[in-house]
Amino acid sequence: MSPAELKALIRTVPDFPKPGIQFRDITTLISHGAGLAASIEHLADHARAKGAQAIAGMEARGFIFGTAVAVRLGLPFIPIRKPGKLPIPTIGVEYALEYGTDRLEMDPEAVSQGQRVVIVDDLIATGGTAEAAVKLLRQAGAHVSDALFVIDLPDLGGAELLGKADVNVTKLIDFEGD
């Protein structure tokens, strides 16, 4: 399936979670077997071309796409977790949200020094979570220069933010203007 066909599988929910927001719901994509498979194949092709040695994904929807890409390529998957989810000593990075802060954590032993890690997630909006994941992976010793997303909301500036962190952004689909 082409990216245009994949885009047609994504449901838009107006005014969620608040008025004026056009929520891009991927559940309609992941519940479509051929669409999900095509998304994974496109992402895996990009990750392979980027020389990925491991795939990282952020909780929760990055686990869906990232794990599938890692399995498709026979590579390790590195879960980037919400705080307090791992039963071992972790490293973490705090990052700003619209109202407050949040934190991402990971097992520092999940990455080898200099390992080329490609981030995979469902969507990039403002880029705050992805930027935090880049910082965290680099803190652990990974080489991170690429991030792959099913959806980009370019008007929110996330790809530009990652670009300032020397991370190339590849997306399958974009929704401009909202």
- Amino acid present at 61: R
Average pLDDT over residues 136-154: 97
Please tell me the distance from the alpha carbon of residue 12 to that of residue 27, in angstroms, as a whole number.
11
* Beta-bridge partner residues of 174: 152
Cβ pair 95, 101 in contact under 8 A: yes
Please tell me the distance from the alpha carbon of residue 111 to that of residue 117, in angstroms, as a whole number.
8
User: What number of H helices and E strands is found in the chain?
Assistant: 6, 9
Please tell me the distance from the alpha carbon of residue 149 to that of residue 151, in angstroms, as a whole number.
5
| Pair of tokens at residue 112 | 């080898």
Angle, alpha carbons 121-16-59 (nearest 5°): 25
Q: Give all strands (DSSP E) within 18-76, no chain letters.
A: 22-25, 54-58
Q: What is the pLDDT of residues 8-59, one digit of tens each?
A: 999 999 999 889 889 999 999 999 999 999 999 999 999 999 999 999 999 9
Residue 176 has pLDDT above 90, yes or no: no
37-53 CB burial, b ≥16 within 10 A, e <16: ebbbebbbebbeebebb
Domains and CATH numbers, the chain: 51-174 (3.40.50.2020)
> Predicted confidence band at 178 (pLDDT cuts at 50, 70, 90)?
low
Q: Which pTM was predicted? A: 0.95
Cβ pair 104, 136 in contact under 8 A: yes
Q: What is the pLDDT of residues 56-79, one digit of tens each?
A: 999 999 999 999 999 999 999 999
Average pLDDT over residues 117-141: 96
Q: What's the pLDDT score for residue 99?
A: 73
